[in-house]
């Protein structure tokens, strides 16, 4: 889990670094891919923290995305992580916090930035390149944007990423709204200086009032503008939110089935990212997740909640996709679930098989930790050809098989049978000695192997230690 | 993570070592597997559902081991805690759904969507069967989360065990060669 933890921290640091103001996991919702690193590549590689380990390769991509939440939690300290904790604890903390702080976690990014837009840019990085080209600086849009309640949504978002916000908006909505959003973003960013919060808050009531009073067209466009994204608002904006929400609901009453959400909106992943953004701005204080209905979707609480739930599920499925090898090409829940089930079953079977193997290999079951770890190192050395004078493992003497001479015949017969695995544990230790001094000494090898070969066939004999065998083995 | 798992596993195996008379391979395997499972689950310290379920499952088989391996209060709480009674009575749910479904529309699209949903439901049920404690996870989100964590732990477990097996077997290659030579030499001569 080293790599995993590294990426956790890297993601966390990345957020902190580019977010200047806050440890904002703007890219925390990146679905499985790591385009995040593209714009923030400098951070990601540099900020790798060598934390304790975790299943590395599997978790690489997975960790980068999934662990932003705990990393952010960690960064902020909300999740109860401690920076110095080993990765295991952090990962376990993540797991532990996952559930109860899911809501919180959604709002973690919100917590972190005291100022900033309410919009999150989950896929900011991925959207960054395309959107950059399309950022329109339209004064008319800016004006309209100023009126949009979108403004208030952006209160809790760090303004450090205007482009990404624009990108996100762009990805989210149809072009008009995008422009609006982008322009709005520009306007908001332009209007807000470093002191985002104060200005935002000052403008927020204005915006909300404007939105409310803006009448049909303005209100409609504004609501459409941010209907395309699902956002979770801060408690501070709750009043504005509710007012806006009621407006939106009034607009969206025509939409019924939540299945329609895919059709009227641009591709699902974009809406997903938008929703993710919104989710991230939820308020940790009240623990609620204020979700804004998307354009063209049902707005009753049930469908909203269901949509939130489905988004969560799809996000996790994406993480699973990264974790389970060979799931990248698979699309669709059912097939992926199938793959996951097969993978879990195969892992379980592997565990059983390996434990069976270990049981046969090592009748004494004395897996000496240091010895085994040292063995791994030694094995690499040995395979490399170097015969290092490795320290004899402590447990080896215990492993020496008792070898009554009467067993020699048996050993010979069993040698053919038990060449590989049964001999391995003893031979592990013996081999060290062999390589040290007895490379070509078949005689000694025979002695050793007699003892070794005897073990699996005669576990009882193993308990009766014979000094002779020990003498044979020792150099 | 790996080192911690290994340490805990060693601890569990230490408990079994005095019982050196478990000579049968199956008993040893069982001991190894149980201690590995408990070690894996204890790493999560009861934060995840599957770890709790796994510990409780092994507690039924070997309470002593579990108690020894888990230190402190956790052991007691985890062992004695009753399993969450969120077991879904699938048959009842299915029956009630059938009643509700009678009045639903039968458009083609609806049917396809319904079939897809059924398939997904079946798969999630299969996943619940595989993941320890899956039956008690009330919602899909939790299930998938637990699956994620469980997969990660399984992977560590497999990696550690495989490396141990490889290390233990490492010596066998050369000795196998020598043994082969010896065997032929003896047979010939």
Q: Look at residue A363 in the predicted model and tell me its pLDDT.
A: 64
Q: Which residue has the higher pLDDT, B98 or A153?
A: B98
* C-alpha closest to that of A365 among B118, B15, B163: B15
- With an 8 Å Cβ cutoff, are A415 and B171 in contact? no
Does the residue A352 lie in any domain?
A: yes
* C-alpha closest to that of A99 among B54, B144, B40, B150: B144
List alpha helices for A228-366, DSSP H. Answer: 238-251, 268-280, 301-323, 333-361
For the segment A406-461, what is each residue's pLDDT rounded down to a tens digit? 444 444 444 444 444 444 444 444 444 444 444 444 454 444 444 444 444 443 44
What does the alpha-carbon distance between residue A278 and residue A258 come to, in Å, rounded to a whole number?
Answer: 18
**Residue whose pair of structure tokens reads 């759904």 in the numeric block:** B97
**Number of other residues whose CB lies within 10 A of the CB of residue A276:** 29
What does the alpha-carbon distance between residue A242 and residue B42 come to, in Å, rounded to a whole number?
Answer: 45
Residue A108 predicted with pLDDT over 60: no
* CB contact A441 to B (< 8 Å): no
Q: How deeply is A376 buried, as exposed, middle or buried, from its count of CB atoms within 10 A (0-12, 13-18, 19+)?
A: middle
* C-alpha closest to that of A26 among A68, A80, A75, A79: A68
Query: Reduced to 3 states, what is the DSSP secondary structure of residue A59?
Result: helix
Q: Which residues pair with A156 in a beta bridge?
A: A116
**Residue whose pair of structure tokens reads 């709790």 in the numeric block:** B52
Q: Look at residue A162 in the predicted model and tell me its pLDDT.
A: 45
For the segment A291-347, what is each residue's pLDDT rounded down to a tens digit? 677 677 777 888 888 888 888 888 888 888 888 888 777 677 788 888 889 999 999
Q: Is the ipTM of this complex over 0.90?
A: no
For the segment B7-28, what is each residue's pLDDT rounded down to a tens digit? 777 777 777 666 666 667 777 7
Does the residue A327 lie in any domain?
A: yes
* Mean pLDDT taken over chain A: 50
Q: Look at residue A444 in the predicted model and tell me its pLDDT.
A: 46
What does the alpha-carbon distance between residue A153 and residue A204 come to, in Å, rounded to a whole number?
Answer: 9
Does the residue A359 lie in any domain?
A: yes
* CB contact B148 to A (< 8 Å): yes
Contact A183, A191 (CB under 8 A): no
- With an 8 Å Cβ cutoff, are B171 and A426 in contact? yes
- CATH number of the CATH domain containing A342: 4.10.280
For the segment A38-89, what is each residue's pLDDT rounded down to a tens digit? 444 344 444 444 434 444 444 444 444 444 444 444 444 443 334 444 444 4
Query: B179: which chain A residues are within 8 Å (Cβ-Cβ)?
Result: 415-416, 419, 423, 445, 449, 453
Does the residue A64 lie in any domain?
A: no
Contact A282, A288 (CB under 8 A): yes
What does the alpha-carbon distance between residue B150 and residue B133 come to, in Å, rounded to a whole number?
Answer: 11
Which among A95, A309, A416 has the least Cβ separation from residue B183?
Answer: A416
Q: Look at residue B82 in the predicted model and tell me its pLDDT.
A: 53
Query: What is the Cα gyration radius of chain B?
Result: 24
For the segment A230-287, what is each residue's pLDDT rounded down to a tens digit? 444 444 444 444 444 444 444 444 444 444 444 444 444 444 444 444 444 444 556 6
* C-alpha closest to that of A319 among B106, B150, B52, B120: B150
Contact A232, A107 (CB under 8 A): yes
Q: Look at residue A345 in the predicted model and tell me its pLDDT.
A: 92
* C-alpha closest to that of A368 among B40, B2, B11, B118: B11
* CB contact A337 to B (< 8 Å): yes
What does the alpha-carbon distance between residue A312 and residue A331 come to, in Å, rounded to a whole number?
Answer: 17
> What does residue A149 show for φ and ψ, rounded to 5 degrees?
-70, -10
* Alpha-carbon gap: A211 to the closest alpha carbon of chain B (Å): 36
Q: Look at residue B182 in the predicted model and tell me its pLDDT.
A: 77
Interfacial B residues in 103-122 facing A (CB < 8 Å)? 113, 116, 119-120, 122
Q: Look at residue B56 in the predicted model and tell me its pLDDT.
A: 77
Report the residue of B46, B168, B188 to disrupt the A interface, i.e. the one with the largest count of A CBs within 10 Å: B168
Does the residue A265 lie in any domain?
A: no
Does the residue A376 lie in any domain?
A: no
Residue A164 predicted with pLDDT over 50: no
* C-alpha closest to that of A165 among A311, A314, A14, A19: A19
Residue A140 predicted with pLDDT over 60: no
What the block records as the tokens of B70 is 């888990």
Q: Look at residue B189 in the predicted model and tell me its pLDDT.
A: 61
Query: A70: which chain B residues are within 8 Å (Cβ-Cβ)?
Result: none
* CB contact B141 to A (< 8 Å): yes
* C-alpha closest to that of A148 among A221, A47, A231: A221
* C-alpha closest to that of A19 among A195, A159, A181: A159
| pLDDT-based confidence at residue A370 (cuts at 50, 70, 90) | low
* Alpha-carbon gap: B74 to the closest alpha carbon of chain A (Å): 15
**Residue whose pair of structure tokens reads 């079951």 in the numeric block:** A365
| pLDDT-based confidence at residue A222 (cuts at 50, 70, 90) | very low
Does the residue A334 lie in any domain?
A: yes
- With an 8 Å Cβ cutoff, are B156 and A55 in contact? yes
Domain that holds residue A333: 301-364
Does the residue A9 lie in any domain?
A: no
Q: Look at residue A336 in the predicted model and tell me its pLDDT.
A: 85
| pLDDT-based confidence at residue A464 (cuts at 50, 70, 90) | very low
Q: Look at residue A286 in the predicted model and tell me its pLDDT.
A: 61
For CA atoms A312, A313, A318, A319, the dihedral sign is positive
Low-confidence ranges of chain B (pLDDT < 50): 73
What does the alpha-carbon distance between residue B64 and residue B58 come to, in Å, rounded to a whole number?
Answer: 10
* Alpha-carbon gap: B156 to the closest alpha carbon of chain A (Å): 6
Query: B181: which chain A residues are within 8 Å (Cβ-Cβ)?
Result: 442
Q: Look at residue A346 in the predicted model and tell me its pLDDT.
A: 92
* Alpha-carbon gap: A43 to the closest alpha carbon of chain B (Å): 25
What the block records as the tokens of B81 is 């805690």
What does the alpha-carbon distance between residue A307 and residue A304 come to, in Å, rounded to a whole number?
Answer: 5
Contact A265, A294 (CB under 8 A): yes
| Number of domains chain A contains | 1
| pLDDT-based confidence at residue A470 (cuts at 50, 70, 90) | very low
What does the alpha-carbon distance between residue B72 and residue B23 come to, in Å, rounded to a whole number?
Answer: 32
Q: Look at residue A132 in the predicted model and tell me its pLDDT.
A: 46
């Amino acid at each position: 889990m080293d790599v995993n933890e590294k990426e956790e921290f890297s993601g966390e640091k990345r957020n902190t670094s580019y977010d200047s103001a806050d440890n904002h996991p703007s890219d925390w919702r990146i679905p499985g891919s790591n385009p995040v690193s593209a714009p923030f590549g400098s951070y990601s590689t540099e900020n790798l923290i060598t934390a304790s380990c975790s299943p590395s390769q599997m978790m690489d991509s997975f960790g980068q995305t999934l662990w932003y939440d705990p990393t952010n939690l960690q960064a902020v300290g909300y999740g109860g992580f401690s920076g110095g904790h080993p990765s295991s604890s952090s990962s376990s903390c993540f797991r532990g916090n996952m559930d109860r702080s899911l809501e919180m976690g959604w709002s973690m990014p919100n917590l972190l930035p005291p100022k900033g837009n309410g919009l999150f840019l989950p896929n900011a990085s991925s959207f960054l390149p395309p959107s950059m080209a399309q950022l329109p600086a339209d004064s008319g849009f800016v004006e309209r944007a100023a009126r949009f309640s979108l403004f208030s949504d952006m209160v809790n978002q760090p303004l450090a990423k205007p482009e990404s916000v624009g990108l996100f908006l762009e990805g989210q909505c149809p072009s008009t709204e995008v422009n609006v959003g982008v322009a709005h973003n520009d306007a908001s960013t332009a209007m807000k200086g470093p002191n985002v919060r104060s200005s935002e808050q000052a403008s927020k009531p204005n915006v909300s009032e404007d939105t409310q009073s803006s009448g049909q067209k303005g209100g409609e466009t504004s609501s459409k503008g941010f209907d395309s994204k699902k956002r979770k608002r801060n408690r501070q904006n709750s009043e504005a939110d509710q007012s806006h929400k009621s407006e939106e609901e009034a607009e969206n009453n025509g939409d019924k089935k939540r299945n329609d959400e895919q059709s009227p909106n641009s591709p699902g992943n974009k809406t997903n990212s938008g929703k993710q953004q919104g989710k991230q701005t939820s308020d940790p204080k009240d623990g609620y997740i204020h979700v804004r209905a998307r354009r063209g979707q049902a707005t009753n609480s049930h469908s909203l909640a269901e949509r939130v739930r489905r988004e969560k599920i799809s996000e996790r499925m994406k993480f699973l996709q990264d974790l389970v090898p060979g799931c990248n090409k698979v699309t669709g829940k059912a097939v992926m679930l199938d793959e996951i089930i097969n993978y879990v079953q195969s892992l379980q079977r592997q565990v059983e098989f390996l434990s069976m193997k270990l049981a046969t290999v090592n009748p004494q079951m004395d897996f000496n930790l240091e010895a085994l770890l040292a063995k791994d190192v030694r094995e690499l050395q040995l395979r490399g050809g170097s015969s290092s004078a490795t320290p004899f493992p402590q447990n080896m003497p215990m492993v020496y098989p008792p070898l009554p001479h009467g067993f020699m015949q048996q050993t010979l017969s069993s040698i053919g049978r038990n060449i590989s695995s049964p001999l391995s544990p003893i031979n592990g230790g013996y081999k060290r000695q062999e390589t040290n001094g007895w490379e070509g000494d078949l005689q000694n090898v025979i002695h050793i192997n007699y003892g070794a070969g005897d073990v699996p066939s005669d576990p009882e004999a193993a308990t009766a230690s014979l000094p002779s065998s020990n003498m044979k083995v020792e150099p | 993570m790996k080192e911690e798992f290994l340490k805990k596993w060693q601890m569990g195996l230490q408990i079994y070592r005095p019982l050196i008379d478990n000579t049968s391979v199956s008993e040893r395997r069982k001991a190894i597997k149980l201690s590995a499972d408990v070690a894996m689950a204890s790493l999560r310290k009861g934060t995840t559902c599957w770890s709790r379920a796994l510990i409780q499952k092994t507690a039924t088989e070997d309470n002593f081991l579990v108690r020894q391996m888990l230190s402190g209060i956790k052991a007691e709480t985890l062992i004695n805690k009753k399993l969450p009674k969120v077991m879904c009575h699938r048959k009842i749910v299915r029956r009630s759904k059938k009643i509700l479904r009678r009045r639903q529309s039968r458009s083609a699209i609806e049917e396809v969507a319904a079939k897809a949903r059924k398939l997904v439901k079946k798969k999630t049920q299969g996943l619940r069967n595989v993941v320890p404690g899956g039956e008690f996870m009330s919602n899909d989100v939790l299930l998938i989360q637990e699956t994620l964590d469980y997969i990660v732990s399984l992977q560590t477990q497999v990696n550690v065990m495989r490396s141990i097996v490889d290390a233990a077997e490492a010596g066998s290659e050369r000795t196998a060669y020598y043994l082969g030579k010896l065997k032929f030499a003896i047979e010939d001569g």
